[in-house]
Every structure is written in C-alpha cells, then in structure tokens.
C-alpha cells in the first residue's frame, strides 16, 4: 500500500476522533455552549479532513483521469442505477433484520444527524457531500482496493463493507450498512472510476436527508423502513 494511503487513513482517524480534544478547546475559547461547540468543531474537522485527504490523493486523481474507465455518460448511468441497487439492497437487509432478527427499525445515527441539521442547517453539507467523498476514498479506493488485489471481488467487497458498517457505530444494522457498501464496491469495479460510488453515496445520503428533513417523523420512519436511511 502506498505511503500516502496510510497518511489518508491516519488523517481520517484523526478527523473522526479530534472532537475529544477539539470540542473542549473550542468551548473554552468561545461563548458557544457545549452542543454548539461540538457541531461547529465537527464541521471544521470534516472540512479540514477533506482538504488534507484530497491533497494527499492528488496522484490518484491524475491516474484515474488517464485510466480506461467508464465515460462520463457511463458514470452517470451507473450512478443512477447504483442508487436503485443500493436502495434495493438496503430494503432486503431491513426486511431480514426485522423478520429474522427482530431488530427495531430506525437509526440513532440518522436521527442524531438530522437533529443537528435542523438546529444548524448548514451542517447538511457534511452527510450529503463531504462524508460520502471521504468514505469512498477510504473504504472503496483504499480498503477495498487493498483487499481486491489479494482476493476475489466477493470477499474483498464483503470485508470492506463490514468495516464500513462497523465504523458507523451501529452494529445492529451491519446488514444495512454492509449491503450499501457492497453495492458501492460493485459500481466502482464496474466503471473503474471512484467518482461513481461517490455519486451513488451522495445520491443516497441526499435523498435520506431531504426526506428526513421535510417529512413528519412518522413518515420519515416509514421511509427508513422501506428504503433505508
């Protein structure tokens, strides 16, 4: 694995856990309350993480532009198809969770993000755009790519999808997050362009945020049950 990939993973980990120190630091220096300090630090850390990781990934951007991947039109077609594929996979995963394992529908992670977004609307940029870009770089380009060079697609996608699921902090919904990660890996291999799973991920998150943001809680929960969140 290239050294810059380890730097990317390190930057991603620091971004995720920087709030342990950063929130207290921001709270002590400003008049913000603890909740607002946490929100603003999260936005700062994600923006900073995006800039650092995109800078580290510059060589890969040049390689992909010169690679024999799908055309821009092909990427768009696969992106639209991928959204439907991912929602279908999530629907099947949710059905299994409810019918087989008796897991209650709903996501504390999604509810927390939406509570923050309603309090600070600008925050929606993170789940809709920044998080998908960062997660596809880390989990598809680097982690899946690492496994895919050493084993067949199924096991490489499975391992990266499981890691992707666990990182969201809801192990009871590992089937849902894992199924989504599996589809992202598939469209990545199908097009040989990382922008494809990024667009699929952005599409899914954006639909979920818009629905959760605009519908009453009961209807939003129904949307989560039917097509995921």
Task: Please say if the pLDDT value at position 155 is more than 70.
Answer: yes
Q: What is the pLDDT of residue 148?
A: 95
Q: Record the pTM.
A: 0.87
**Set 97, 136, 168, 201: catalytic member:** 168
| CB of 71 closer than 8 Å to CB of 190 | no
Task: State the Cα–Cα distance between residues 79 and 72, nearest whole angstrom.
Answer: 10
Q: What is the pLDDT of residue 63?
A: 66
CB atoms near residue 139 (< 10 Å): 23
At 58, list the tokens. 């510059």
Among this protein's residues, is 111 annotated catalytic? no
Among this protein's residues, is 136 annotated catalytic? no
Q: What is the pLDDT of residue 110?
A: 66
Q: What is the pLDDT of residue 187?
A: 96
Quote the mean pLDDT of the chain: 85
- Of 109-118, 147-156, 158-167, the range with the lowest mean pLDDT is 109-118
**Set 135, 136, 173, 201: catalytic member:** 135
Q: Which among 2, 9, 1 is positioned nearest to 138, based on CA atoms?
A: 9
């Amino acid at each position: 694995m290239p050294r810059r990939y380890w730097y990317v993973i390190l930057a991603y980990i620091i971004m995720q856990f920087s709030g342990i120190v950063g929130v207290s630091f921001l709270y002590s220096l400003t008049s913000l309350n603890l909740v607002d300090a946490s929100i603003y630090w999260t936005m700062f850390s994600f923006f900073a993480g995006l800039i650092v990781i995109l800078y580290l990934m510059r060589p890969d951007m040049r390689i992909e532009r010169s690679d024999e991947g799908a055309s821009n039109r092909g990427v768009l077609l696969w992106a639209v198809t991928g959204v439907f594929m991912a929602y279908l996979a999530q629907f099947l995963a949710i059905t299994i969770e409810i019918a087989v394992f008796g897991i209650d529908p709903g996501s504390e992670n999604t509810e927390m993000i939406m509570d923050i977004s309603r309090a600070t609307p600008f925050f929606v940029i993170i789940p809709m755009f920044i998080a998908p870009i960062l997660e596809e770089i880390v989990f598809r380009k680097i982690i899946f790519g690492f496994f895919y060079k050493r084993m067949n697609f199924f096991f490489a996608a499975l391992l990266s999808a499981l890691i992707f699921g666990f990182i969201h902090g809801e192990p009871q919904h590992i089937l849902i997050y894992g199924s989504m990660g599996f589809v992202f890996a598939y469209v990545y291999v199908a097009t040989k362009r990382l922008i494809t799973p990024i667009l699929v991920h952005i599409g899914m998150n954006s639909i979920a945020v818009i629905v959760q943001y605009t519908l009453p809680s009961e209807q939003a929960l129904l949307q989560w049950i039917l097509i995921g969140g």
